[in-house]
Structure 1
Amino acid sequence: MTVSIRDAARPFTGGALTALLSPATRLLGLGEPTHGVEAFLELRNELFRHLVEYEGYRSIILESDCLSALAADAYITDGIGTLDDAMSLGFGHHLGASPANRELLRWMRAYNEQRPPRERLHFYGFDGPLEMTGPAGPRPALTALHDYLAAHLDLAWSRETLDALLGPDQRWTNPAATTDPTQSVGRTPEARELRLIADDLRALLTAHTPHLTAATSPDDRWRADLYARTAAGLLRYHAGMADTAATRVGTLMCLRDAMMADNLDAIIDREARRGPTLAFAHNRHLQKDKSRWLLPEGWGPLAGRTLEWWSAGAIVGTRLGDQYAFAATTFGTRGSDVPQPDTLEGLLSALPDARAVIDPVRLTAVLDRKPTPRVPADHTYLPLDPATTGQTDAIVFVKEI
């Protein structure tokens, strides 16, 4: 069987991966099976350089705070601030500590320095301002949207009105609300009023598009729409935080990926005339099939429950069709965690290359049985489901991390 599997695999290169994709691809999602492993980020950097230099890609999107990413993009495109500033201000989820992320920004800035604006690379985040301790407050996004509109329109709400409804930021960022919905302010009368205002402001942004397009720059107009999406998404998420139903955590997963999908849509539209885009995130946020997560110990009464939700990739893939491609990454051995021989990762570990690209169609054709699902050694790793590998366009395998 190993010889047949070898027929479905090639040593990893950017060209070997893109050879498996539709030429119509506008968005390529590269997933990682776990966070915090530099090998996957280094592989991403290598792929992105190939995509830029040989495939016409001009942007990259990370699973990071969409608002913070503006600081990283300003450094990359226009040299605003320093690399240290971009690393400290331009990422969420503590991703600014990653050497591979630092190398990514350094390379993108060097690439852009001698190029005109229309050819420069752009950097985006597509996650909401959400951390493990809870979501950020809506103040930065909502007030930025208000200020943009107030400079050109007569609004029914003042900044003082917004500040009074928002109250202290600590009300919104209380970490106790992560596990206790009664600690959340997401369904207070003030929060409900703010959701209505955010919706009305976004409607004004759309209704006055001709005037705002003529009066402001395309970049300012795009950022205003980002603020509108983020304010509405955060207020919706805070309302979900206050939900006392047993389905609360699953609802929050759905809301997060819906926010991610909206951001992907907006970025793809913005980049449409410049070239395709690479998105990098966890496999569960980019896969085309339904995402599942078995909650581990430590989740109290929810431990052992399986959450299901549609990923941002599945949502956007429905809209884009063959213009969306997904490459799932997985690995073989990590320390004492060695895959069983009858699992997908165990079978792929017999390949001779340290990194390989596998054609899922050919792999399925040569296997005489479905591999046994891998049981992860810890909850930070979510293995590929062998039953759904046919819904991936490519599999990237790293033998050891």
Structure 2
Amino acid sequence: MPDIHPARIREQALPLTDEASLDPLMERIGDARYVLLGEASHGTADYYQVRDVLTRRLIEEKDFSFVAVEGDWPDCQAVHRSVVAAPGAPEDPVEVLEGFGRWPTWMWGNTDVAAFTRWLRRHNEQRPPGRRVGFFGLDVYSLWESLDAVLTHLREHDPDRVEHALEAYRCFEPYTEDPQSYALATRYVPEGCEPQVVSLLTELRQRAARAVTADSSLTEFAARQNAEVLAGAERYYRAMLDSGPESWNIRDHHMADTLDRLMEHHGPDAKAVVWAHNTHIGDARATDMADTGLVNVGQLMRERHMGRGVVLVGFGSHSGTVIAADTWGGVPRIMEVPPAHAGSLEDLLHRALPGGRMLFVFPHVQFQRPPDGGRREWFHQEHGHRAIGVVYRPQFEQVGNYVPTVLAQRYDAFCYLDRTHALTPLHPVAAESREEQTWPVGV
């Protein structure tokens, strides 16, 4: 690998000092309809804060339609109802965030998300109801919560069909909301509850397609989405027992499909901001994820929608503090993030930009590498790029925490924040969680 002179990196770095310093990124986004904003950990305040500032500008200046996050659909739907001032919803979205119960609760139940959602509520109150900016969850984990939501919906809107939904409920009931028990049971009955789930999903898809008014359309869309989560979660938890890429790919395909459904629901002029971990946002083809058959949301969005504009923004830091747990389901605590490994991307940037908070905006992505012997910029070379999950043991930080990455192929822009700080949960997790560990850990 050719030597990289720090002066070259400094020439290309754009200082991040205030909202106006994001102008080059806003220009790069242009008319893009999909802006995906990453994070190198789920427990770092600085990443949330930069995403907050950029998202507010996208909403105010470019009329983005909704924010979609790496969170559960039922929980985030409750946040959505609050931020759009739906009848009967809490006036303060923080009341909803404080009620998030799935571990790791600090991912969305923290003071930075609280500040953003309160701003979004105030912003929406100045807009007509049909043009308010939404807040939605993309993830696949909420099997039982989504099943409960489907039953509640049918009891209210179509009681004649409740018995049909109860067939799926009774199939899952013996597993007492334990996804691992359900997954193990499918070793003996391979189809598990899939027939009941598919039948329920088909019915709710048809109901959503028949919805005609704006209010009923939104209600039916949410019911259908809970059924989609139910189907995706059922597949995910069955696949989770096997080593290999299938469970990861089920999850990221589900998130990408949910994003597509949200865009279709919001109409042909819709624009989406996505908040998720770098491992979901950054194009998997520019990492070693592709070598093991993994895909992710960033790759899928580029492949499906490049003609309509997709911009991927990554984040990283050299050292600082983070909130995480040292076991799955454990009580979170503030941990020191050690200096990045020698030779990593973060180490390279720290040596060039000690103490810096910088933005890099890259030329439009090209996956063709220059001929051997050709000069390659540092961002077209492969470096390890740190990823911290909700489970983290800094004293044992391993090579596995670093994803081999060609930066300018993985992202369209990158925010480097040399030293970062742990976010603040709205409330501490007081007890160990029964939530089963998922793979790969913590992202």
TM class by smaller structure: 0.7 to 0.9
Q: Secondary structure at the match of 1:213?
A: coil
Q: 2:296 aligns with which of 300, 311, 320?
A: 311
Letter in 2 for 1:227: N
Please say if residues 339 and 374 of structure 1, whose CA atoms lie closer than 8 Å, have aligned partners that are also in contact.
no
Mapping 1:224-239, distance limit 5 Å: 224-239=223-238
The more displaced of 117-126 and 271-280 is 271-280
Q: Give the fraction of aligned pairs with identical amino acids, expressed as a percent.
A: 19
Q: Secondary structure at the match of 2:32?
A: coil
Question: Does residue 66 of the first structure (1) align with residue 70 of the second (2)?
Answer: no
The more displaced of 191-200 and 261-270 is 191-200
Match of 1:128 in 2: 140
The CA deviation string for residues 274-326 of structure 1, in whole angstroms up to 9 with x for no partner, is 542210111111122248789xxxxxxxxxxx965101221232111142211
Q: Secondary structure at the match of 1:217?
A: helix
* Deviation of 1:232 (Å): 0.8
Question: How large is the RMSD of aligned CA atoms in angstroms?
Answer: 3.5
The more displaced of 8-17 and 267-276 is 267-276
* Deviation of 1:126 (Å): 0.8
The more displaced of 8-17 and 285-294 is 285-294
Letter in 2 for 1:230: V
Match of 2:344 in 1: 343
* Deviation of 1:354 (Å): 3.0
Question: Does residue 15 of the first structure (1) align with residue 23 of the second (2)?
Answer: yes
Distance 1:15 1:51 in 2: 11
- In structure 2, relative to structure 1, the CA distance for the partners of 1:391 and 1:182 (3 Å cut) is closer
Q: 2:46 aligns with which of 39, 46, 49?
A: 39
Q: 2:36 aligns with which of 24, 29, 42?
A: 29
TM-score by length of 1: 0.79
Q: 1:167 aligns with which of 173, 177, 183?
A: 173
Q: 1:258 aligns with which of 253, 260, 264?
A: 253
Question: Does residue 325 of the first structure (1) align with residue 311 of the second (2)?
Answer: yes
* Deviation of 1:240 (Å): 2.0
Q: Secondary structure at the match of 1:97?
A: coil
The CA deviation string for residues 238-281 of structure 1, in whole angstroms up to 9 with x for no partner, is 3224x4x443xx32212221221121111222334554221011
Unaligned runs of 5+ in 2: 321-335, 366-374, 388-393, 421-443
The more displaced of 268-277 and 373-382 is 373-382
Match of 2:211 in 1: 212
- In structure 2, relative to structure 1, the CA distance for the partners of 1:215 and 1:20 (3 Å cut) is closer
Unaligned runs of 5+ in 1: 295-305
Match of 1:300 in 2: none
Distance 1:285 1:230 in 2: 18
Distance 2:273 2:279 in 1: 16
The more displaced of 376-385 and 272-281 is 376-385
The CA deviation string for residues 132-153 of structure 1, in whole angstroms up to 9 with x for no partner, is xxx65663255356547735xx
Match of 1:354 in 2: 356
Letter in 2 for 1:125: G
Please say if residues 288 and 405 of structure 2, whose CA atoms lie closer than 8 Å, have aligned partners that are also in contact.
no
- In structure 2, relative to structure 1, the CA distance for the partners of 1:279 and 1:396 (3 Å cut) is same
- In structure 2, relative to structure 1, the CA distance for the partners of 1:218 and 1:356 (3 Å cut) is same
Mapping 1:127-146, distance limit 5 Å: 127-129=139-141, 136=144, 139-144=147-152, 146=154
Match of 1:370 in 2: 381
Match of 2:416 in 1: 397
* Deviation of 1:236 (Å): 1.3
Please say if residues 139 and 255 of structure 2, whose CA atoms lie closer than 8 Å, have aligned partners that are also in contact.
yes
Distance 1:230 1:184 in 2: 20
| Number of aligned residue pairs | 372
Please say if residues 62 and 279 of structure 1, whose CA atoms lie closer than 8 Å, have aligned partners that are also in contact.
yes
Letter in 2 for 1:7: E
The more displaced of 356-365 and 110-119 is 356-365
Match of 1:5 in 2: 9
The CA deviation string for residues 94-121 of structure 1, in whole angstroms up to 9 with x for no partner, is 0343110111111111111222112322
TM-score by length of 2: 0.72
